[in-house]
Amino acid sequence: MTKVARKKSRLLYHPATPYLLSGPSVIIILVFLIAPMFFAFYLSTTDASLLSFASGKFSFVWLKNYTDFFQSSSFGKVVRATLIYVVLGVSLTYFIGLLTALLLNQNFRMKAVFRSMIILPWIIPQVVLVLIWKWMLNPKYGIINDMLMSLGIIPSNYSWFTETASAIFVLMLVTIWKQYPLANLILLAGLKAIPTENYEAASIDGANAWQRFRYVTMPGLKYVNSVLILLLSIWSFTNFTIIWILTKGGPVDSTATLSIYTYLNAFRFQRMGFGAAVGVVSLLFTLIFAIAYYQVIMKKQEGL
């Protein structure tokens, strides 16, 4: 072994090497993740407004912002809107992603073209995609509105965002359109990993298509499903862009999720302390859900 090689070997196995390699990542996490979380909690214990925060003239109120939020009439509405958005968004995104993955797992002509079309919504930037949908649904010059009006399905100058049901429908439509390509890719990878011998054995045993799907496909996707549903749930909990561009939380706060309510209080109503408290509550809800979901999945896997 040459002198240079011995020197490299000593550096590689030096006790400080792991810390030097992981140091930059730890610093980035501390600066851009941990520090903002602690600052948000600190801010949530104050009565800071947008102006007083800039001037530094605010006082501590400790947990008053949290009690005000939990006791307010908006708490139930915000939690309900968040749960509706998360449950509907995750379940429908998974369902459509699974259907398209099952389709792409078959052999047919133009398969590559169809796969490219499916991935297109995921490639388009989120803001651009939402603005395109908002333009197509415009009451006066929207393409979709014009087609539906010509068919007599909706009245002229119909606005999708003045009623709760139609606003939620559009939110789900755009959210699913944006997220289902990722679900499709992950589920398709899971389907490819299932051995074909399992299907052949099930067919020999007389299993029909539904039985093969139930007893071979779904058990084979259990690990993929657990990760995918967790990711989709966290993204839905924290989604802001789609809801804000389309509805801004309306009509009458019916689509104001925790992320929207945080922004409204912190910046529109200039209640920085209260908005920070709502943001901390949103973070805690997300963490509690993720931990509980992980524990349930682990128990199910241990029982298998």
Instruction: Compare 137 and 253 and report the one with higher pLDDT.
Output: 137
Which CATH superfamily groups domain 42-303?
A: MetI-like (1.10.3720.10)
Q: Predicted confidence band at 127 (pLDDT cuts at 50, 70, 90)?
A: very high
Look up the pTM and report it.
Answer: 0.86
Poorest-pLDDT segment among 32-41, 103-112, 166-175, 292-301 = 292-301
- pLDDT tens digits for 173-201? 999 999 999 999 999 999 999 998 998 89
- Structure confidence at residue 13 (pLDDT): 62
Residue ranges per domain, the chain?
42-303
Q: Predicted confidence band at 11 (pLDDT cuts at 50, 70, 90)?
A: low
- Kindly tell me the sign of the dihedral angle through the C-alpha atoms of 251, 257, 261, 264: negative
Assess contact for 245 and 134: CB atoms under 8 A: yes
- pLDDT tens digits for 89-122? 999 999 999 999 999 998 888 888 888 888 889 9
| Nearest-5° Cα angle at 200, 199 to 202 | 65
The residues facing 46 across adjacent strands are 60
- Structure confidence at residue 243 (pLDDT): 95
Q: Predicted confidence band at 2 (pLDDT cuts at 50, 70, 90)?
A: low
Determine the Cα–Cα distance for residues 286 and 280; give it in Å rounded to an integer: 10
Q: Predicted confidence band at 35 (pLDDT cuts at 50, 70, 90)?
A: confident
Average pLDDT, the chain: 87
The string over 260-271, giving b where at least 16 C-beta atoms fall within 10 Å of a residue's C-beta and e elsewhere, is bbbbbbbeeeeb
Instruction: Compare 16 and 111 and report the one with higher pLDDT.
Output: 111
- pLDDT tens digits for 212-270? 999 999 999 988 998 899 999 999 998 999 999 999 998 888 999 999 999 999 888 88
